[in-house]
Chain A
Amino acid sequence: MKKESSHEPGRKYGMVIDLDKCTGCGSCMVACMAENNVSFKEDESNKLDSITWMRVYRLTNNKPFPETEIRYLPRPCMHCGGKGDLGHSPCVSVCPATATDYDHKTGIVSQIYTRCFGCRYCMAACPYHARYFNWWDPIWPADLKKSLSPNVSPRMRGVVEKCSFCFHRYQLAMERAYNEDRRELEEAEYQTACTQACPAGAIVFGDLNNPDHAVHTLKDHPNAFRLLERLGTNPKVYYISDREWVRRSGDNYLNNEKTNTKPAVQEHHS
C-alpha cells in the first residue's frame, strides 16, 4: 500500500535563480519574512542569530578596481532530495524527532515546529545554513500580531525553522483545485512569495518535472549550477550566471580544477 502512493506522478518543485538578473535589492527577503511570520529581534545588528529563511549573499571576484565584479546570491532552503531523490536530505537523515521529512509528492522538505525539540542536528547537517534556531519567543511589537498570516503557524522559542517554499500556498492552491474537481495545478497557481516579489524577475519557481513549467527547461541551461553539487545533496534550487567565477564560487574547487558546467553530476557518486 505504501508503494502505491510513491508511484503517483511526483511533482518536484524547485527554483531557478538568474544571478545575472538579481540586483541584491532584498525584496525576496522582506516578502519572505512578511509571508511566513518570521520573527525578528529588537536589535538585529547581530546577524549570527537572525532568522532569514531567504538570505541574499554578496559574492565578489576579489579583483582590483577595473575588473571588480559583484553578484548577489539569494539562498532559500535547497529542499535537497538526496541521491536519486529518495529523500535522504542531510537534515531529514539526522533529525531524531522526525520533525522534518521529505514529501515525495512535491519534493518539499517540511519542518514541523510543534514536533521539533531544538537539538539543532539539522542545522549542523545542512551545508547551506538554511536552518535557523529560535533563541527567543517572538515578540511582535504593538499591533503587528494582528497582521500575522493565519496560514503559517508562528514558532516558539527552542525550535528550528526554515524556508518551506511557501508550502501553505500549495495547500491553498490544492484546496481550490479540489473544490473545482481538479488535481493538477497551473504554474501560476502556486508561486512562492519571493518569486512574486522579485522586481527583476530573477527567481523562477515551478515543477521541475513538468515540461510546461519554465523551470523544467531553465534548469538545463548551459550556465546552470547548484550549490555544493558534489556533496550529492541534490538540491532543487538552480542558479544561472554567465560568469565563470560565479559558477565556480558555487562549489569548493581546487585551483587546477575545471569548473563544472553541467548541473547533473550524480553519476560521479553512483
Chain B
Amino acid sequence: MTTSDHKAKGDAPDKAPKGREGSSFGIIVSFFLIGFGLSMAVGWIAFPKLLYSEKQQPFDFNHAIHMDLVDEGCESCHLFREDGTYAGVPTLDQCSGCHEDAQSDSPDEEIFVNEYVANQQEVPWLIYSKQPDCVFFSHAVHVKTAEMECAECHGDIGTSESLKVYRENRITGYSQDIWGANIAGLKKNTWDRMKMDDCGSCHLERMGSKGPCFQCHK
C-alpha cells in the first residue's frame, strides 16, 4: 500500500510515515531477535539440562586410594572371568575381603560397611558406560588382544577421588556418557560419548574397516 502511495506522490515522499515505518521495523526485528534468543536458549541450554535427571551413587568411592593399595592396577578389582567375559564393577564378595570392618573414618565407608557388608547386600551402583542391550562389547579383545589401556576409553577414573554425578536420560534411560553431554555433538575425549559412530570411527582408523554389524551387535 505504501509503495503505491509513494508512486502516486512521485519523487516527494512524506518523511513522517517513513520514520514510523522504521521504528515498527525495529520492533519487529527486536521481537524476532528476542524470540530467536529465547528459543536458542531453550534448545541449547534448558533442554539438555531437562533431558537428564541427576542421580547420586549409593555412596562415594575414592579410586585414587585403592589404586595405591593394589598391585595390578584396574584389573585387581575389575576382573576378567575365566571364560573371558568382563565382570565389570566388583561384587560385594570382592570388597568385603578387606572391608569386613571399616578401614578408615570415612563416612562413605561407614555406609558401605553398615548398610551393605553387614546385610550381605550388593551395592546398586549406577553404571556410567552401560550400553543398550543390542550392543555386544568384548573387553577381552580390546584389553588383551589390542592391548589398549583402560584410560583410553574410560579416562583417568583410576586417579579420581570421588564419583561424578550420574545423569540418566529421562526418555531413553541410558547414561549421559553414552549419548554425550554436548548437544552439538562435539567431543574432546573418547569417554565424552560412546555411540556406534564413536566405536566405528576408531575401528575404521585402527582396523581399516568398521567391521560387520555382528561384530558389535547381538
Contact = CB atoms under 8 A, between A and B. Distances in A.
Given A175-B84, A178-B144, A105 B212 contact: yes
Interface majority SS (helix, strand, loop, mixed), chain B: loop
A55 to B, nearest CB: 22
Contact of A181 (B85, B144, B208, B214): B144
Q: How many interface residues does chain A have, given as a range?
A: 35 or more
A151 B83 CA distance: 14
Contacts of A106: 212, 214
Contact of B212 (A2, A102, A151, A154): A102
Contact of B209 (A5, A113, A152, A168): A5
B134 A167 contact: no
Interface in B164-218: 207-209, 211-215, 217-218
Contacts of B27: none
Contact of B140 (A103, A114, A178): A178
Contacts of A151: 218
B31 interface: no
A1 interface: yes
Contact of B85 (A110, A153, A175): A175
A178 B136 contact: no
Nearest to A6: B209
A2 B85 CA distance: 29
Contact of B214 (A5, A103, A180): A103
A149 to B, nearest CB: 10
Contacts of B211: 5
Given A114-B134, A164-B214, A167-B214, A178 B141 contact: yes
Contacts of B138: 171, 174-175, 178
B212 A4 contact: no
B85 A172 contact: yes
Interface in A56-109: 99-106, 108
A113 B140 contact: no
A246 B160 CA distance: 68
Contacts of B132: 114
Given A5-B207, A178-B84, A152 B218 contact: yes
A172 B140 CA distance: 10
Contacts, number: 83
A16 B211 CA distance: 28
A198 B217 CA distance: 27
Interface residues of B, number: 23
A157 interface: no
Contact of A110 (B144, B207, B214): B214
A214 interface: no
B145 interface: yes
Contacts of A172: 83-85
A110 B84 contact: no
A177 interface: yes
A151 B212 CA distance: 18
A222 interface: no
A104 B215 CA distance: 11
Interface string A144-161: 000000111110000000
B218 A153 contact: yes
A179 interface: yes
Interface of A: 1-2, 4-5, 99-106, 108, 110, 112-115, 150-154, 164, 167-168, 171-172, 174-181, 183
- Report, nearest first, the 10 A-B pairs whose CB atoms are least far apart: A179-B84, A1-B208, A103-B212, A176-B84, A175-B84, A153-B134, A110-B214, A178-B140, A179-B140, A110-B213
Given A4-B208, A103-B212, A179-B144, 6 more contacts: A5-B211, A102-B212, A115-B213, A151-B218, A167-B218, A180-B84
